[in-house]
Homo-oligomer: A and B are copies of this chain.
């Protein structure tokens, strides 16, 4: 019985392996991807930082522009700039969440300065991945012009550069342009049970 189970398992897995190897063989293309992480769930920024960590592991120069800085300290910035400042450039452009500042002009100016920096980094032929953290918030509030961002990504992004754009409420036109889109859906969140934001989890 145990042996039958094992034989069946081996046969099933062998079939999966053949199918998978064939699928992967067909995928030979390489290109710089436009990646979007959106949705209301957690993991949009942290998986962006996980990708930055992968780039660092491969010694691929990369960069982060944070469009909206949280009220809390951001641990990622500290650890990335302290240990990998030579591989990863880091720019914090936002002044805090929008409901903290209540100053639309200042938010717009910060978002536009962030976008100018982002264009400079994306154009830099040495940089292989640029994470535009929470840029979707700036696009949603019309702090940045969607058409300008889309046109730049489509026409001026170097072909092999990856650009990762995070934040909830990604614009449909951005999703349309992107190569890889993941929606993080919130199934359960501890805030609802009265648990506050904690280090390591939220920041």
Q: A interface vs B, CB < 8 Å?
A: 5-6, 9-10, 13-14, 16-17, 20, 23-24, 26-31, 33, 35-37, 39, 41-51, 53-58, 60, 62, 75-76, 78-80, 83, 98-105, 128-129, 162, 175, 178-191, 193-201, 203
Contacts and interface: CB of A to CB of B under 8 A. Distances in A.
A6 B76 contact: no
A131 to B, nearest CB: 11
Contacts of A53: 46, 49-50, 53, 75-76, 79-80
A50 to B, nearest CB: 3
Contacts of A191: 23, 27
- The oligomer's copy count stands at 2
Given A42-B180, A200-B128, A20 B55 contact: no
A196 B162 contact: no
Given A104-B6, A187-B175, A198 B50 contact: no
Given A13-B101, A104-B10, A193 B181 contact: no
